[in-house]
Structure formats: C-alpha cells, structure tokens
Amino acid sequence: MGVGIKKNDSVMIPVIVTLSVLVPVAVAVLMIYPETFSLENSFPQAKKLPAFHAFLNGTTAVLLILGGIFISRKKIHLHRAVMVAAFVLSALFLVSYVVSKVSNPPTPFGGEGATRIIYFFILITHIALSVPVLPLAMLSIYRGSTMEIDKHKKLVKYTYPIWLYVAITGVLVYVFMSPYYPV
C-alpha cells in the first residue's frame, strides 16, 4: 500500500489553518485594493497569465479525474502522484494569480443578457468554492499521506467535487473573459 509520512497534527494542522486564512485574505486585499499593490507595466508578459491560468486549471481538472479513476482501480501510487501534481498546479495557479492581479489592470466583463447572468453565476460560485478548496485539499493530502485512510475518504467526499468544480469553472471564467483581455 505504500509508506506514508509521519503524522504530526500539532504542526500540520496549524500550518493548514494559517495558509487557509492568509491566502484568501491576501487575494481579497489584492482585489479590493488593486491600485495599492499595483506593479502594472513592470511585468509585460503578465497579460498572458490568464491563458496560463486556464491551462493550469484545465490540467488540474484532468489530473483530478485521473486521480479518481486511479483510486477506483486501486492504483494508489498513481492516484497519489496525480493528486499531488494537481495540488502543485493549484498552488502554482495561486502564485501566478497573485502576480497577475498586481501586474495587470482589472478587466471588466463586457457580456450582456443571459451570457452576463451565466458568467456571474459561474464566477461567484467559483470564487465562493475556491476558498474551502485550499484547506480541504491540504487536509485531504495530509490525511492520505499519513495513511489515515478513513479520515481521507471522509474528506475527499467533499474535497473532490468542490476542487473539480473550481478547476473546471476556472477554465470557463477564462473562456467568458478571453474576448475582453487586452492583446
């Protein structure tokens, strides 16, 4: 079945909680006060980041689906590898997203009518569900890595669909926004 890491809740749980609070707060501050932290024009390639984010989210979604397939077939090593890869891509997305927010001016959505309603529904649910993904994913990976399989299974019943939804809607947000990004 494989060897897990040593369980150390007294260290890992505070780390997970701290990151789970700091990351959304940092992203919220950047969204509320973009001009305060703006590094606009200091990173010209930053305008390409939204497409990169869609790639990261799409690849994460594929890896999550593969992880589900692998575990259903009892291929634990493959499951573990793709789930860790999905987490690494999600972490890379978060870092890149912050760089994008401080490097690019806000891009307003220009769609109208039903398209606008659908876009904002997807965007709002994407943002709302992205907040619990970080702690759920970290805790799920931690419980799996420490071989606490029962706790891991209970967590992933929630983590998996939420994380997959956030990854897929991340791509959809890009698709809706792509006509409005500067070239």
Predicted confidence (pLDDT) per residue in 24-76, tens digit: 998 888 878 877 777 766 677 888 999 999 999 999 999 999 999 999 999 99
Domain count, the chain: 1
Residue 9 belongs to some domain of the structure: no
6 falls within a domain: no
Asked whether residue 60 is domain-assigned, the answer is yes
- Characterize 125-156 residue by residue with b for buried, 16 or more Cβ atoms within 10 angstroms of its Cβ, and e for exposed: ebbebbbbbbbbbbbbbbbbbbebeeebeebb
- Rounded Cα distance between 166 and 58, Å, is 10
Above 60 in pLDDT, residue 1?
no
Give the span between the Cα atoms of 47 and 65, in whole angstroms: 29
At 3, is the pLDDT very low, low, confident or very high (cuts 50, 70, 90)? low
167 lies in a domain?
yes
Digit-coded pLDDT (tens) for 125-156: 999 999 999 999 999 999 999 999 999 999 99
Nearest to 165 by CA among 138, 126, 117, 118: 126
Domain that holds residue 84: 46-180
What CATH number has the domain bearing residue 89?
A: 1.20.120.80
Question: Do the domain assignments include residue 28?
Answer: no
pTM reported for the whole predicted model? 0.89
| Residue 108 is assigned to a structural domain of this protein | yes
pLDDT at 56: 98
Q: How far apart are alpha carbons 174 and 181 in whole angstroms?
A: 9
Q: What's the whole-number average pLDDT of the chain?
A: 92
Paired tokens of 153: 């299974």
Residue 14 counted as domain residue: no
Residue 38 domain-assigned? no
